[in-house]
Structure 1
Amino acid sequence: MKYFSNVPFLNSDGKIMLNAIDIRKLLKTSSEAKNLKFGKTIHAHLIISNQITRDRVIERNSLINLYSKCGETSTARYLFDKMPKRNVVSWGSIMAGYLQHGYSSEVIELCRNMINVDKLCPNKYILATVLSCCSNCRLFDEGRQCHGYAFKSGLIFHQYVKNALVYMYSMCSDVEGAFWVLNSPPKSDICSYNSVLNGLLDQDDMMEALYTLRKMVADCEFEEWDGITCVNVLRVCARFKDLRSGKQAHSRILKRGLDSDLFVGSSMVDMYGKCGEILSMRKVFDVLQTKNVVTWTAILAAYLRNECFEEALKLFLEMDHENVEPNEYTFAVLLNSCAGMSVLGYGNSLHARVEKVGMKDYTVVGNALIHMISKCGLVEDADMIFKNMLNRDVVSWNLIISGFSYHGLGGESRDVFHRMLAAKQQPNYITFVGLLSACGVDEGFYYLNHMMREFGVEPGLEHYTCIIGLLGRSGRLDEAENFMKSSPIKWDVVAWRTLLNACHIHRDYKLGKRVSDILLQMYPNDVGTCILMSNMHAKSKRWDKVVAVRKLMRERNLKKEPGLSWTEIRNDTHVFVSDDNEHVESDLIHEKVKKLMSEIKLLGYVPDFISELHDVEEEQKEDYLRYHSEKLAIAYALMKTPPRAPIRVFKNLRMCEDCHSATKFISKVTKRTIIVRDVNRFHSFREGRCSCADYW
């Protein structure tokens, strides 16, 4: 606003003295600074001094520009409609204002009126404005008409118009059209490449984006790069998890001094996060001078993506301390982090905050609530959230279908799927992964071979792995093996381990040996396979084989992940390991476990010693089994919750067979519902039975 102090406002009589040039400069400066109050003062002076006459089009255009840029589009439109005489700049000013505030359809209509009513031809700026509206609203036909006009009028040779055309074709998914314009004269500049890259990235057309990026590097000097270029380059690196190129881009950003740009900084955080470089990501974040909600949400999402759930929740406390208000995406990330840790108390507090700030009706927040509540063992409550959602998308349906399936409620899962079809929601790849897990064998093959193709979903590895699981659960192990051998699918460790687990449960040790050999040939250092093999040999009392497997693990320095179980009591999470003595109430917990074991033995519980080393005394084996982490967590939850209240326990590994058997008896003797989530699924124990039907 430097110009304001340089204008001699008053003449010798004390009256305001402004000539036409002064007025135009003042209105322009007010518009650029978005100082509406000062602009209105100038407007009032023009009215009082009767300086707005029929031929003062420039001043009227300046006023339209002022009100448009300051957000008063209705006032700008009133002034525009009252103009006795309009020129191309008048039309351009009102259109630019409408575009700035998202009124794209009005811009298209104004352009038609300009041509048909005032008989004026759009200039390059108006044409670029209209093309931007076509891009925003994906109006491909109107965009092509603009292209035709640009070609006919010669405006296509203006760089401004060319860049707008490139972006329009990219956003309308016409890659061929975008490249045709990109390769046409005049020579493409960095803005041309920014436009096509933006469009391709928004359409997730990554291969074309990569090709365009390489072409841009060849055609444009590094000194031409701007903030938008850097954001696009980082987005490509993040999408391909190309850390090497991402670091090179980071180096260039530092050389150009663009690291202080807020959007560039957020993109660097996102790139390092998607490449799994957590320390580098945090370093970039910490040195950013300016952070907004987008930056904070980017790093929280990166922590979530890398399963650093606790770090995400801790960082949110810093965000709160900085008084940065979370948006709907922030809440979604936080709720999904709570799901990853199964911390219902913290999740409920976030739920209350979402309700308080009025964000519960955002679909992305509703989906995160379904995920969090379901992962905390309350699938019925998750279903209530789902039913009360105002707007559901395919993710909402997928989450509740998978939630029921994960809890062993196959019938409910299939019912939701059929409600999904009745609601005219198109299922996708993920939908059928959740659905197939909830089926029997014949039903699973029906969905795989008929319904998926009916909806145009090509079956993939995850779907075929579900079929292996269905065959294994029903004991049809030979069919499962033949299915895997005859299929052209390239099976991964999850698929083969699914079959190996079925061999373990159904005690088909011959097939188990063949499967484990395949697994160890493919993945020699897979700890999970070695542990399953050891347990299978123990079941068949082939102790020499057990010793051999454990020797193999020692030689390869393969270590079993320590088993952890935890339960949440009054918003505090209590974590246990086997034979835990670190808890402040460990003596009382151990006494509670002993009492429970005595009570369930009277009901017929027999400790399962088979998986323990054969050269350990029976009494030692029983002591070892008695204080497994899940038993300690269950005992503590029973001590700290009201009678008949359900309890929830979570474990990072597969629940062992002895603990599974004991928990069935504990649910009966205590008349409690005990929900245990292990690495495979939810187990809901009620009256001596488990929802998994002893298959997990």
Structure 2
Amino acid sequence: MSILKLPITDIMPVKFTPFLSRSNFLASPHQDPIKLLKVAADAKNLKFGRTIHAHLTITNHNYRDSKVNQLNSLINLYVKCDEVSIARKLFDSMPRRNVVSWSALMAGYMQNGNPLEVFELFKKMVVKDNIFPNEYVIATAISSCDSQMYVEGKQCHGYALKSGLEFHQYVKNALIQLYSKCSDVGAAIQILYTVPGNDIFCYNLVVNGLLQHTHMAEAVDVLKLIISEGIEWNNATYVTIFRLCASLKDITLGKQVHAQMLKSDIDCDVYIGSSIIDMYGKCGNVLSGRTFFDRLQSRNVVSWTSIIAAYFQNEFFEEALNLFSKMEIDCIPPNEYTMAVLFNSAAGLSALCLGDQLHARAEKSGLKGNVMVGNALIIMYFKSGDILAAQSVFSNMTCCNIITWNAIITGHSHHGLGKEALSMFQDMMATGERPNYVTFIGVILACAHLKLVDEGFYYFNHLMKQFRIVPGLEHYTCIVGLLSRSGRLDEAENFMRSHQINWDVVSWRTLLNACYVHKHYDKGRKIAEYLLQLEPRDVGTYILLSNMHARVRRWDHVVEIRKLMRERNVKKEPGVSWLEIRNVAHVFTSEDIKHPEANLIYENVKDLLSKIRPLGYVPDIDNVLHDIEDEQKVDNLSYHSEKLAVAYGLMKTPSGAPITVIKNLRMCDDCHTAIKLISKVANRVIVVRDANRFHHFQNGCCSCGDYW
């Protein structure tokens, strides 16, 4: 039997390591090569290991047992040096193998991300070579299985039971990890309860698995078990339990765990510190998170990203972006997670100019090709109204994941571009990417924009079932929107009443808004009254109900609704619109005279309205209070905040440049009609993001199809 020979170019010339020169090696013929191979493997010194391999090939020892051990050591060397193909050639050349041979090669394939080959080796070892595995081998085989290899994992479990290896700690931990990964909560907990000898590592695995699959109640039960058994926590336990507190948004439990950690001997490393900040942020107590952050003696990019994310999660977008400036002062370079949070913060402010600057910053940081950064960029550009920029980022991404596809599909859907969204969905399916829960929200929403009722129900009833996705409230609400937008209001209401879903205010208001758009005011009033029973303080419902009464000139009902709002202390938020020009935000309220260029803006509004009247514009005064003169009603409508913002944008931006305006409330019907026509006479693309959706006005049309 000979050891596999390597080409001489693979081993010569060799630069020897300081601890063993060529002369020393040749002068020590009795030096144990197995020990030397272990040294080379542990140091991942491939050149030195190849030198020993060459020496063994030349000397060609004839001791049978030592050759098996030497080959095992060589396999271990090449595995640890990421040369699995060479290790496999050595393995295949062996006429006789032992359990160590199989274990070393399986570990190599596992380390190199080839779990299928690990399981195939395990089968050959047991069936073909009839070698009884030890606990390390079977733990490796089980660890190679995931949700795609669940059946194989169960087979490994069965073998562990028959062989009595289930009770070994390595095997037990691997089984718990398997069932946690595969969302088989019952099996993971059964092993934890029925197989004795639990350590903290077992508990960490189970709680992490439960958190990953949002089984919060079970995670709390396991936490209680950890406490009752008095098992000492380690750093990973604290990180996991702080994650649990964050997921539950349980600030009381979080503070108790924090206090326990401070009393323990655990060092607050960067991972624990970041999980504490994250917990306070997700529990809505960002100030406590900031206090803890400020007291940290050392901070790195993980700590900084955690506190920036805490501000973002609580919608303190400006503070999040300001913290990034302080992070740079501390000379901490951002990573992909930092940039993703910053892009989302810019999106929250609809600060497109700032988003562009951050985009350039990401490219300078070498993060341009990172998929997480690309995904965040797509979302940021869509939320900021720049569809072309979002499409450009997507087309230039070298790799995509399901989040990428969801971002591009739902982004187009939210902008009313249903055809483009469905086209992207078909492209995604062609790549073999598996759609998930979020994907179908975007797809059904796209069908709603296009009024494709049959297609929407096909996705809802058949394709989701095919991919084993259980519909949630968002999907049901999209179906209500699909039927409502198509004018099938009775079907939409029957759909809601026939499905025992915990419908929320958004779902019912979707139907209510459809009643307003389609002028089904009687049905709308009934739904509004029901909605106000569910949520007596929902200001949007009061406004829609008031507008419906105003449409049919039931002014006494309008007065009653406004009186009811006063009695319940429900106040309509003042309408505010803003736009960003050369990194400066300009904010407008209705009939605003505080802007330094107010006179010019008002003149420009008058000029625009006079230009669109020949195109058929007639001020829509139906919803304006009836106790003032019609002329005053027209004046009130003329200077709504979005009209002022659009007029200013036309004054201050180059000819042909798009204008993007953000409004905190739903656009009124009059402003919607006026801005449609302004886009035509001004020959501009005008984007208005209101409380409901994006409106892309171009050449006298809106992307919403006059339905919003």
Residue 594 of structure 1, aligned match among 606, 619, 625? 606
**2:310 pairs with 1:338:** no
- In the alignment, what sits opposite 1:195? 205
Cα 1:292–1:147 change in 2 (3 A) is farther
**2:339 pairs with 1:327:** no
Quick check: 165-174 or 626-635, which moved more?
Answer: 165-174
SS in 2 for 1:692: coil
Contact (CA 8 Å) 1:193, 1:216: kept in 2 or not? yes
Contact (CA 8 Å) 1:441, 1:471: kept in 2 or not? no
**Structure 2: distance between partners of 1:115 and 1:410:** 54
SS in 1 for 2:258: helix
**2:282 pairs with 1:270:** no
**Structure 1: distance between partners of 2:582 and 2:207:** 50
Cα 1:428–1:170 change in 2 (3 A) is closer
Cα 1:565–1:135 change in 2 (3 A) is same
Output the amino acid matched with 2:318: E
Contact (CA 8 Å) 1:638, 1:647: kept in 2 or not? yes
Query: What is the 5 A alignment of 1:155-304?
Result: 158-159=168-169, 162-171=172-181, 173-184=183-194, 186-218=196-228, 221-222=229-230, 224-258=232-266, 260-304=268-312
**Structure 2: distance between partners of 1:32 and 1:289:** 34
Contact (CA 8 Å) 1:104, 1:137: kept in 2 or not? no
Contact (CA 8 Å) 1:426, 1:455: kept in 2 or not? no
Contact (CA 8 Å) 1:171, 1:200: kept in 2 or not? no
Contact (CA 8 Å) 1:99, 1:107: kept in 2 or not? yes
Contact (CA 8 Å) 2:619, 2:637: kept in 1 or not? yes
Output the amino acid matched with 1:533: L
Aligned-pair CA distance for 1:176: 5.0
Contact (CA 8 Å) 1:260, 1:289: kept in 2 or not? no
**Structure 2: distance between partners of 1:105 and 1:414:** 34
- In the alignment, what sits opposite 2:317? 309
- In the alignment, what sits opposite 1:695? 707
Aligned-pair CA distance for 1:103: 8.7
Aligned-pair CA distance for 1:548: 1.6
Query: What is the 5 A alignment of 1:72-471?
Result: 134=144, 158-159=168-169, 162-171=172-181, 173-184=183-194, 186-218=196-228, 221-222=229-230, 224-258=232-266, 260-439=268-447, 444-457=452-465, 458-471=470-483
Counting matched residue pairs gives: 682
Contact (CA 8 Å) 1:448, 1:463: kept in 2 or not? no
Aligned-pair CA distance for 1:125: 6.6
Aligned-pair CA distance for 1:637: 0.9
**Structure 2: distance between partners of 1:464 and 1:144:** 35
Output the amino acid matched with 1:296: W
Contact (CA 8 Å) 1:342, 1:650: kept in 2 or not? yes
Aligned-pair CA distance for 1:402: 2.6
* CA deviation profile, 1:477-536 (whole Å, cap 9, x unmatched): 444444444444443211222222223233333222212111111111111111112222
Residue 667 of structure 2, aligned match among 638, 655, 661? 655
Contact (CA 8 Å) 2:480, 2:511: kept in 1 or not? yes
**Structure 2: distance between partners of 1:498 and 1:145:** 49
Contact (CA 8 Å) 2:270, 2:302: kept in 1 or not? no
Cα 1:112–1:652 change in 2 (3 A) is same
Contact (CA 8 Å) 2:451, 2:485: kept in 1 or not? no
SS in 1 for 2:547: helix
Cα 1:426–1:444 change in 2 (3 A) is farther
SS in 1 for 2:587: strand
Contact (CA 8 Å) 1:35, 1:70: kept in 2 or not? no
Contact (CA 8 Å) 1:373, 1:382: kept in 2 or not? yes
Contact (CA 8 Å) 1:157, 1:186: kept in 2 or not? yes
SS in 2 for 1:347: helix
Output the amino acid matched with 1:669: V
Residue 522 of structure 2, aligned match among 510, 517, 520? 510
**Structure 1: distance between partners of 2:399 and 2:548:** 48
* CA deviation profile, 1:603-623 (whole Å, cap 9, x unmatched): 543333332222234444333
Output the amino acid matched with 1:648: T
Aligned-pair CA distance for 1:96: 8.4
Aligned-pair CA distance for 1:688: 2.6
Output the amino acid matched with 1:682: F
Quick check: 229-238 or 172-181, which moved more?
Answer: 172-181
Cα 1:141–1:289 change in 2 (3 A) is farther
SS in 1 for 2:516: helix
Contact (CA 8 Å) 2:183, 2:213: kept in 1 or not? yes
Output the amino acid matched with 1:316: F
SS in 2 for 1:439: helix
**Structure 2: distance between partners of 1:268 and 1:625:** 50
Contact (CA 8 Å) 2:453, 2:482: kept in 1 or not? no
Aligned-pair CA distance for 1:308: 3.0
**Structure 2: distance between partners of 1:298 and 1:29:** 40
* CA deviation profile, 1:130-163 (whole Å, cap 9, x unmatched): 765x368987688678767866776655545544
**2:622 pairs with 1:610:** yes
**Structure 2: distance between partners of 1:131 and 1:641:** 63
- In the alignment, what sits opposite 1:568? 580
- In the alignment, what sits opposite 2:688? 676
- In the alignment, what sits opposite 1:641? 653
Aligned-pair CA distance for 1:680: 1.5
**Structure 2: distance between partners of 1:622 and 1:383:** 40
Query: What is the 5 A alignment of 1:615-630?
Result: 615-630=627-642
Aligned-pair CA distance for 1:662: 2.0
Aligned-pair CA distance for 1:110: 10
SS in 2 for 1:675: strand
**Structure 2: distance between partners of 1:464 and 1:119:** 55
Quick check: 193-202 or 550-559, which moved more?
Answer: 193-202
**Structure 1: distance between partners of 2:158 and 2:341:** 45
**Structure 2: distance between partners of 1:675 and 1:415:** 23
Cα 1:104–1:409 change in 2 (3 A) is closer
Cα 1:181–1:271 change in 2 (3 A) is same
Contact (CA 8 Å) 1:138, 1:171: kept in 2 or not? no
Q: TM-score, normalised by structure 1?
A: 0.79
Question: Structure 1 vs Structure 2: percent identity of aligned residues?
Answer: 54
Consecutive unaligned residues of structure 1, counting only runs of 5 or more, are 1-26, 37-53
Cα 1:165–1:401 change in 2 (3 A) is closer
Cα 1:428–1:444 change in 2 (3 A) is farther
SS in 1 for 2:197: coil
**Structure 1: distance between partners of 2:378 and 2:530:** 38
**Structure 2: distance between partners of 1:315 and 1:414:** 39
**Structure 2: distance between partners of 1:107 and 1:476:** 56
Aligned-pair CA distance for 1:232: 1.9
**Structure 2: distance between partners of 1:487 and 1:650:** 36
Aligned-pair CA distance for 1:654: 0.5
Aligned-pair CA distance for 1:72: 9.3
SS in 1 for 2:464: coil
**Structure 2: distance between partners of 1:399 and 1:569:** 27
Aligned-pair CA distance for 1:323: 2.6
Query: What is the 5 A alignment of 1:448-597?
Result: 448-457=456-465, 458-597=470-609
* CA deviation profile, 1:222-268 (whole Å, cap 9, x unmatched): 56112112222222232333333333222222222547132222222
**Structure 2: distance between partners of 1:129 and 1:478:** 58
**Structure 1: distance between partners of 2:65 and 2:425:** 68
RMSD over aligned CA atoms reads: 5.0
**Structure 2: distance between partners of 1:495 and 1:87:** 64
Contact (CA 8 Å) 2:38, 2:77: kept in 1 or not? no
